């Protein structure tokens, strides 16, 4: 014969177990809904981000044409963000000049299977690293290791490093040299010279245009953060003078890059075909968000002489 207390306890125990199971099912169901919603948002935002990138490129091309092929910090395409909203999300687009940095690939001249060194740009890079506070032995090591990383042979330069080092016990990366132009600035972290050089410090004025050796500086979008880059370009040690010349720009920008260059030096002994009055390389940052999710796209875009655009790199962040 069952006692009432035992029956009650058994009933309560069963109810408790069922409640726990119900809660777990509800949590799983909720997580499933969240996951599906995230996937839907990710797919939806990806399409919108790419569409926004396309529209931003069109705006940039029109702006450069309408401004007589001159682009300055005061042009709307560079100094204001764009916002678009609907019932599902908000889109924010920002465009910045990505040309005013030293492209590490610019020290190379690639013709077919041959890679040569562009001496003017190589010396510019050395002067820039010196202004960033890097010691001369470390500069020589960095440059030689950069060349060895890209060139096609396996013979290390005086301070370089080739395959035997990178697959040996002293290297943590255990891979061969790239034997191609750089695709990302982070590749230089593989160099043994970076054990002595502060990557964050030198990367302020360094960049990589993936797989290409183009190098342009837009004199109309320079600011005081570029003083080391420009001082190294002109081989000028007086940083205060360089900064003053950068800040002393015409209200509507320079109509000729030579107008800027002649303010600093009359010698003409600097790397050729680098200074420009417009931006050929731009970074388009697009963000889409709502109350629950957000995603971002950074697009590195380069314009050629005909104003046609090519996307060099895309970084998605969901």
Indicate whether 271 and 286 sit together in one domain: no
Indicate whether 290 and 264 sit together in one domain: no
Indicate whether 115 and 242 sit together in one domain: yes
Closest listed residue to residue 138, CA positions, set 200, 205, 194: 194
How does DSSP assign 58-72, residue by residue?
Answer: HHHHHHHHHTTT---
Q: Is residue 30 part of a domain?
A: no
CB 188 within 8 A of CB 199: yes
CATH number at residue 140: 1.10.40.60
Q: Which two tokens stand for residue 198?
A: 């502060």
Q: Is residue 6 part of a domain?
A: no
Closest listed residue to residue 262, CA positions, set 275, 243, 273: 275
Indicate whether 241 and 259 sit together in one domain: yes
Biggest distance spanned by C-alpha atoms of the chain: 112
Indicate whether 150 and 295 sit together in one domain: no
The total of structural domains in the chain comes to 2
Report the pLDDT averaged over residues 213-217.
92
| pLDDT > 70 fraction of the chain, expressed in percent and rounded | 84
- pLDDT tens per residue, range 294-311: 889 999 999 887 778 899
Indicate whether 108 and 136 sit together in one domain: yes
Indicate whether 91 and 154 sit together in one domain: no
Q: Has this prediction a pTM greater than 0.85? A: no
Q: Is residue 21 part of a domain?
A: no
Closest listed residue to residue 89, CA positions, set 37, 17, 54: 37
CB 285 within 8 A of CB 307: no
Number of Cβ within 10 Å of residue 249's Cβ equals: 19
Rg for the chain, CA atoms, rounded: 28
Indicate whether 187 and 228 sit together in one domain: yes
Tell whether the model's pLDDT for residue 21 goes beyond 50. no
CA distance 57 to 314: 14
Q: Which two tokens stand for residue 47?
A: 């399409």
Q: Is residue 164 part of a domain?
A: yes
- pLDDT tens per residue, range 169-203: 878 888 899 999 999 999 999 999 999 999 998 99
Q: Are strands 114-117 and 108-111 parallel, antiparallel or unpaired?
A: antiparallel
Q: Is residue 4 part of a domain?
A: no
Number of Cβ within 10 Å of residue 233's Cβ equals: 24
Structure confidence at residue 120 as a pLDDT band (50, 70, 90): very high
Q: Is residue 206 part of a domain?
A: yes
Q: Is residue 267 part of a domain?
A: yes
Range of the domain at 264: 102-210+223-276
What phi and psi, each to the nearest 5 degrees, are found at residue 242? -60, -45
Q: Which residues of 69-82 are buried (b: 16+ CB within 10 A; e: fewer)?
A: ebbbeebebbeeeb
Q: Is residue 242 part of a domain?
A: yes
Indicate whether 110 and 128 sit together in one domain: yes
Indicate whether 187 and 152 sit together in one domain: yes
Indicate whether 173 and 63 sit together in one domain: no
Indicate whether 174 and 248 sit together in one domain: yes
Phi-psi region of 75 (alpha: psi -120 to 50; beta: other; left: phi over 0): beta
């Amino acid at each position: 014969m069952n006692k009432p207390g035992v029956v009650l306890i058994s009933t309560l125990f069963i109810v408790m177990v069922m409640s726990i199971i119900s809660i777990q099912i509800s949590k799983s169901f909720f997580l499933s809904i969240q996951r599906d919603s995230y996937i839907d948002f990710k797919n939806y935002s990806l399409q919108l981000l790419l569409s926004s990138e396309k529209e931003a490129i069109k705006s940039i091309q029109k702006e450069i044409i309408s401004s007589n092929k001159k682009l300055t910090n005061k042009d709307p395409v560079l100094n204001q963000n764009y916002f678009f909203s609907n019932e599902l999300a908000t889109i924010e687009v920002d465009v910045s000049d990505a040309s005013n940095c030293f492209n590490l690939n610019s020290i190379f001249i690639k013709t077919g299977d041959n890679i040569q060194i562009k001496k003017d740009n190589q010396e510019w890079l050395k002067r820039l690293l010196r202004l960033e506070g890097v010691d001369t032995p470390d500069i020589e090591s960095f440059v030689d290791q950069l060349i060895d990383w890209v060139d096609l042979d396996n013979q290390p330069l005086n301070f370089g490093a080739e395959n035997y080092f990178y697959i040996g016990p002293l290297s943590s990366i255990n891979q061969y040299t790239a034997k191609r132009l750089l695709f990302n600035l982070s590749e230089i972290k593989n160099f043994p010279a970076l054990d002595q050089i502060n990557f964050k410090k030198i990367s302020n004025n360094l960049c990589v245009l993936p797989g290409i050796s183009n190098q342009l500086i837009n004199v109309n979008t320079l600011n005081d953060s570029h003083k080391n880059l420009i001082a190294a370009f002109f081989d000028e040690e007086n940083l205060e003078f360089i900064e003053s010349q950068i800040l002393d720009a015409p209200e509507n920008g320079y109509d000729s890059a030579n107008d800027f260059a002649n303010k600093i030096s009359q010698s003409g002994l600097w790397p050729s075909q680098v200074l420009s009055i417009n931006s050929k390389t731009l970074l388009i940052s697009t963000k889409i968000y709502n109350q629950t999710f957000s995603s971002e796209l950074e697009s590195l875009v380069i314009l050629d002489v005909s104003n046609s655009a090519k996307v060099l790199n895309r970084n998605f962040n969901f």
